[in-house]
Amino acid sequence: MVRGPIDIARHRRWLKSSLLYKEAQKLVKHLDLKPYVRGETGGVFIGSTYPYVNIGSISVEKPVKPPEMLSWDYNQIILNTLKQTMGKTKGNVSQPKETFTFLSMSYKPIEFEMELKAPPKPLLEFSPYFTPLGPSAPLKKLVELENPKIPKKVYSLYNERINAQIALRELFHFDPYYLSGLLSAGVLGAKKKMVPTRWAITATDDTLSKVYISKIRDYPEISQVELYHHNFLHNSFWVILMPGSWEFENFEAWAPKTTWGAQFGYLITYEREDLRGRTKYAESQAGGYYASKYSVTKHLYGRKRQAKVVVIREVDEGYRIPVGVWQVRESVSKALSKPPILFDDLSSLLIFLSQKLTLDVKHYVKRSFLLKHQKTLLDF
């Protein structure tokens, strides 16, 4: 099922009806927002109004990486967002701005100052695609107080004119959040262009996954059925690994009044790929599919094993405020870091899941290519 674009009006109504959202907006209105900001670099943000985009530099009190946020609740995420300020300007994607480029190339945060044209607007922005954004204002001047810490390999690729995917493959051992920032700011590529942050995140996940898949295809298969699980912010993730050559299926089940939820009842989306990979974009799940696949392939690469994989994500109505696709990547990774529950066969696994999932397991079995051709006790 293709879930289609977000119904923006409906999504905003549900978002604004959330008590958490109302409390967040009350808090931000009481901030002492000034047009002079000093802090550490929290990343470069490129908007999606291609080709003439908003370009922003984010100042933070203390840089926090997404894996650290996995132990936070909504209140902690919102409080952290309140401490961020973005200075924005506009530009054409084909003309990357050097200051932002070098900020993104620094592997470690550096201290800098921003002078804004006005006090930042007391608004918070929440998105299904990227981490929440704090108050912002047009940028007047930006001054680096330290030199960027740029890895030699990154600087070398910046000066070369090679395909961005090839460059990402050469850098695949680096942190994916750092790499998506490089791609977004126009550091990589034969023709240096900025890439909207939303697109850069998905492109990085997809490219790195392909690197891992090219390697795990030659690894031995796992020997048992393995089940992993993690809950985070009203999202429940179940990761199933089964003996066999690499294949991947990803389910998302959205409750009503969530970002992509149907008005009545759950909306279930399904995407897959086999050993040959896929050539079409995963329309029904967008960045969530690629984030999930990234964490699974990285896990298998680290184990030097291959498997058939099914990931089930169930989103309940408590997930009114989206915090970005990073939570999919990190939740799947966290699940896979735990000891697995082992099963002798698929039937035993499905009987176990039938008692754990929010929805009837048959909703997933009947859609699944990997599960539906296997005879199980649920068929009798």
Cα distance between residue 210 and residue 293, in whole Å: 10
List of the chain residues with pLDDT < 50: 1-2, 4-6, 8, 375-380
Cα distance between residue 84 and residue 41, in whole Å: 10
Amino acid identity for residue 301 in this structure: Y
Confidence at residue 167, expressed as pLDDT on a 0 to 100 scale: 96
DSSP single-letter state for residue 111: E
Confidence at residue 19, expressed as pLDDT on a 0 to 100 scale: 63
Confidence at residue 379, expressed as pLDDT on a 0 to 100 scale: 46
Query: What is the crossing angle of helices 98-105 and 176-185, to 10°?
Result: 170
DSSP-assigned letters across all residues of 10-38: HHHHHHHH-HHHHHHHHHHHTS---SEEE
User: Kind of pairing, strands 136-144 and 85-92?
Assistant: parallel
Confidence at residue 234, expressed as pLDDT on a 0 to 100 scale: 93
CATH 3.30.230 fits 225-379, yes or no: yes
CA 220 to mean position of chain CA atoms: 29
DSSP-assigned letters across all residues of 44-87: EEE-SSTTEEEEEEEEESS---HHHHTT--HHHHHHHHHT-EEE
Cα distance between residue 183 and residue 187, in whole Å: 6
Confidence at residue 219, expressed as pLDDT on a 0 to 100 scale: 97
Tell me phi and psi for residue 61, to 5 degrees: -70, -45
Residue among 371, 211, 365, 370 nearest 277 (CA): 211
Confidence at residue 168, expressed as pLDDT on a 0 to 100 scale: 96
Confidence at residue 33, expressed as pLDDT on a 0 to 100 scale: 86
Amino acid identity for residue 286 in this structure: A
pLDDT in tens, 252-304: 999 887 776 666 678 899 999 998 888 899 998 989 999 999 999 999 999 99
The residue ranges of every structural domain in the chain are: 30-208, 225-379
Exposed e or buried b for every residue in 93-125, given b needs 16+ CB within 10 A?
Answer: beebbebbbbbbbbeebeebebebeeebebebe
